[in-house]
Structures are given as structure tokens and as C-alpha cells.
């Protein structure tokens, strides 16, 4: 998927499932469970063993899905992920060197930011979305609302502590999308290879986002 397609996909779906598991096999199972739950997007964190090879396999077997590399901390790692077929890069912080790399190679980039200065700097650098992380720990939806007041044109992704109880509030507060980890992909569900558990959670979060966007 090209950069514009990834940006559109994330904006439409409104959910980026983040996988942080302990084996390549669990990562592939989790990604395919998410796809089966109707979310054609996944972020694979670099803490997964052999994560680059997992990205390569998923990019080859699921060409219509947006396969993201998460917790990318430097340009060398970003290059490996791009070569493996990643269609977007995310990080927990703002690294302008990595943003510039993504710009040069026309790949979607979603850096982490927390303060107004970081949000402004990221937006000026031309990022696709700004991931507000860790969001729940610094005020949750009220913090997104506070940031959206001075930055109404910056597409923000709430990440860190988003759950079924708060997801709708984050959308109401102005989040363009939600980054969701274990509350969407529980470790127990992965360990037990319980496809239906993950798919049901995907359906629930999709319904929450749809309802919130419709003002409900």
C-alpha cells in the first residue's frame, strides 16, 4: 500500500491494533486474527523476536492490509522495515531523522508526541498522524480535547491505555484514530490461539468507533 492509501485506511477504520507478543508465531496469529475481525491494519512492535521477518511474511501474504512497524527507534531499523514491506512506521517518540527518512521514501510515518511543542514540531515536519502517547496516563480524552483546541488541523491518534470504556470518549474528544494494544489483542487470547476472542473484540471496538463518529 502506498502512503496515501495507508493514511486513508487508518482514517477510515479509526483503529490501529498494536501487537506486542513474545514470538513470531504469536505475531502472525494475532495479525491474522485482527484481519479476520474486520480491521485490515496492524502494528508490529520491534520488541517481537525477528519482527522484520514477520513484517516480510505478512506483507507478502496480506498485500491489501496496512502492515506497520512499531516502536521504531532509529533510521537503520526503519530501513530494514521498509525493505521488508512495511507500509507505515510508528514510534513512541519524535525522531525527526526518522520522519525525514519516511518523507524521502514516501512511507507513512506516525511519531509519538506528548507536549504541545512536540505536536507542533511533528506536524511541521509533515507527518501523517501524531500519536499522543501515553495518552490515558496524562488525562485521557480531556488531554486530546485540550490539544485539539490549538491544533484543530492536526490528525491525532490516542495511544496508551485506550479501552472499551474510554474509546468512544477519545473519538468524541477529536481523535482521528485509536492505537489499542492488549485491550484489543489480549495476551491470553494469543497464548490460547482463541481467534473468536480477538475477532469479537475487533467487532466491539469497530462498533464503538462508528457510534462515536455518528455522535452516539
CATH number at residue 164: 3.20.20.70
How many whole angstroms separate alpha carbon 131 and alpha carbon 155? 9
Neighbours of 169 (CB within 10 A): 18
Task: State how beta strands 66-70 and 88-90 pair.
Answer: parallel
Q: Return the closest-CA partner of residue 171 out of 190, 156, 154, 161.
A: 156
What does the block give as the cell for 75?
533510521
Average pLDDT over residues 76-80: 97
The beta strand positions in 133-212, using DSSP E, are 156-159, 177-180
Range of the domain at 147: 3-213
Q: Greatest CA separation found in the chain?
A: 45
Distance linking the first and last C-alpha atoms of the chain: 32
Can you say how many angstroms the Cα of residue 51 is from the centroid of all Cα atoms in its chain? 16
Residue-wise pLDDT for 179-216, tens only, equals: 999 999 999 999 999 999 999 999 999 999 999 999 88
Q: Return the closest-CA partner of residue 146 out of 111, 123, 115, 179.
A: 115
The total number of structural domains in the chain stands at: 1
Residue-wise pLDDT for 19-45, tens only, equals: 999 999 999 999 999 999 999 999 999
What is the pTM assigned to this prediction?
Answer: 0.96
3-state DSSP call for residue 102? helix
DSSP secondary structure letter of residue 138: G
Residue 216: predicted pLDDT? 82
Strand order in the sheet with 41-45: 108-110, 88-90, 66-70, 41-45, 15-19, 177-180, 156-159, 130-132, 112-113
DSSP letters, 38-74, are: T--EEEEETTSTTHHHHHHHHHHH-TTSEEEEES--S
Residue 206: predicted pLDDT? 98
Q: How many Å is the Cα radius of gyration of the chain?
A: 16
pLDDT above 90 for 59: yes
How many whole angstroms separate alpha carbon 121 and alpha carbon 100? 13
Amino acid at each position: 500500500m502506498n502512503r496515501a492509501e495507508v493514511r486513508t485506511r487508518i482514517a477510515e477504520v479509526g483503529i490501529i491494533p498494536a501487537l506486542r507478543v513474545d514470538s513470531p508465531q504469536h505475531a502472525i496469529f494475532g495479525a491474522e486474527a485482527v484481519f479476520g475481525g474486520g480491521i485490515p491494519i496492524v502494528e508490529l512492535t520491534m520488541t517481537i523476536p525477528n519482527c522484520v521477518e514477520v513484517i516480510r511474511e505478512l506483507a507478502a501474504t496480506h498485500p491489501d492490509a496496512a502492515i506497520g512497524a512499531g516502536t521504531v527507534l532509529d533510521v537503520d531499523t526503519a530501513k530494514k522495515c521498509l525493505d521488508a514491506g512495511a507500509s507505515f512506521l510508528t514510534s513512541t517518540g519524535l525522531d525527526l531523522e526518522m520522519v525525514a527518512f519516511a518523507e524521502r521514501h514516501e512511507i507513512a510515518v506516525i511519531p509519538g508526541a506528548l507536549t504541545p511543542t512536540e505536536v507542533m514540531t511533528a506536524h511541521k515536519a509533515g507527518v501523517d498522524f501524531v500519536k499522543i502517547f501515553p495518552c490515558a496516563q496524562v488525562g485521557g480524552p480531556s488531554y486530546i480535547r485540550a490539544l485539539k483546541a490549538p491544533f484543530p488541523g492536526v490528525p491525532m491518534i490516542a495511544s496508551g491505555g485506550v479501552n472499551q470504556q474510554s474509546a468512544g470518549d477519545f473519538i468524541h474528544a477529536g481523535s482521528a484514530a485509536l492505537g489499542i494494544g492488549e485491550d484489543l489483542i489480549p495476551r491470553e487470547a494469543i497464548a490460547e490461539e482463541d481467534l473468536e476472542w480477538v475477532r469479537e473484540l475487533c467487532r466491539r471496538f469497530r462498533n464503538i468507533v462508528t457510534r462515536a463518529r455518528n455522535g452516539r
